[in-house]
Amino acid sequence: DVQLVESGGALVQPGGSLRVSCAVSGFTFSDYWMTWVRQSPGRGLERVATINGDGSQKYYVDSVKGRFTISRDNAKNSLYLQMNSLRAEDSAVYYCARNVRRDLDYWGQGTLVTVSS
């Protein structure tokens, strides 16, 4: 079975940093693009970042460019999102999701990031 399990969410002060992770199983990780999507009451669902199978292509929403970095370790079947210079508006549940063609077919259960002093 395909499984995606996020971890690393926490309470962080504004301006701080955090790395969230997504451990996957049940499929050949390196064959798939992967995406981070966040969900907050104020902003709804928002695609944050996407990465291709070998990590050579990365795409970000404008609001996180220069602050967030998506990466992956195919040997460890893991996806990461390094978040720096965090702001209150980055507070959200962060989901990792698998890309198939131009859809997101499997989602993790999410990890909560709260940015507050």
Partner 1 sequence: DVVMTQTPLSSPVTLGQPASISCRSSQSLVHSDGNTYLSWLQQRPGQPPRLLIYEISNRFSGVPDRFSGSGAGTDFTLTISRVEAEDVGVYYCTQGTHSPRTFGQGTKVEIK
Interface contacts to partner 1, rule CB under 8 A = 35, 37, 39, 44-47, 59, 61, 95, 101-110
Closest CB to partner 1 among 80 and 95? 95
Nearer to partner 1, 42 or 117 (CB): 42
Least Å distance between CB 107 and partner 1?
A: 5
> For the CA atoms of 22, 80, 50, 95, what is the dihedral angle to 10 degrees?
40
DSSP state of 32: S
Which tokens sit at 97? 């999701």
| Cβ neighbours of 105 (radius 10 Å) | 11
CB of 24 to partner 1, least distance (A): 14
Nearer to partner 1, 8 or 107 (CB): 107
Nearer to partner 1, 10 or 45 (CB): 45
CB of 87 to partner 1, least distance (A): 19
| Structural contact between residues 72 and 80, judged by C-beta atoms closer than 8 angstroms | yes
C-alpha–C-alpha distance, residues 100 and 84, integer Å:
29
Q: Provide the pairing of β-strand 58-60 with 44-51.
A: antiparallel
| Residue 43: CB minimum distance to partner 1, A | 10
